Structures are given as structure tokens and as C-alpha cells.
Structure 1
Amino acid sequence: MDIRIRIGKRIKELRQELKLTQEKLSFKAEVDKTYLNEVENGKRNISIVNLEKIIRALEVKFEVFFTGID
């Protein structure tokens, strides 16, 4: 499976566990909602900087985030 899809699925999974909408997570992470949607759907390459913002907004450790990727 493409890494973009795997990262996007993991973000969506954690976001839903927190019961956050894409809009709320994008605001918390300071990224555009459309960008977040495209990342979650594997349509966009995510930068390391934006990935860090999203992981921090999801309030998980990097190890936890990457451990959950298939």
C-alpha cells in the first residue's frame, strides 16, 4: 500500500478516536482543511513539518503514530 494512503488512514483513525472533525483537527494543527482532507485520502504528499503539526494536534507520541501504520 502507498505510504501516502497509510499515513492518511492513520491520521483519520486517530482523529476519529478523538471524535474530531477534519475542520477541528485542521484548526488545531494549523493546516488548511482541504489539505488535511487530501492527506487523509492519500491524494497529497505531506511534508514532515505538517506531519509533525498533525501528530502533535492528535496528542500522540511519534512512536505511537508510526506503530499503528500497517
Structure 2
Amino acid sequence: MRKKSELEDRMNNKGMKIDTFGYHLGVFDYGVPPHAGCGIGLERLMMALTGIENIRDTTFYPRDVDRLTP
């Protein structure tokens, strides 16, 4: 997706509040190169390479509902 208007339309269709995503949408004002929108992340890559099933085991500071700070 390369046009800000397309993203705003999709956000409206999903009932999202556009004003809370101002910083993200601002990037589109400067032009966005073609992209696939995929970022795997180091933790998920480590899961794939090692066969570990729980992402918390590959994360240095895992966070969940009981632990929000390192």
C-alpha cells in the first residue's frame, strides 16, 4: 500500500480511529517506496531456526500481562 488515502479508507472500514495513528500516517506524506509490509523480527527468526515453540523463550525481556517491565 503506497497511498495514504487507501490506508485511511481501510482504517475507516475496520472502525479504527485515524487520529490516533497520525505519526504513522505522516510517513505517507513524504512518499513510501514499494514494500510488502513484512517484518519477521529477530525473535521469530530464532524460533524458526531453533525449533523453539514459544516466542518468550527467544526474547531477552519477554512481556506479558504479568510482566510489563524488564
Same fold, TM exceeding 0.5? no
TM norm structure 1: 0.27
Q: What is the TM-score normalised by the length of structure 2? A: 0.27
Higher helix proportion: 1
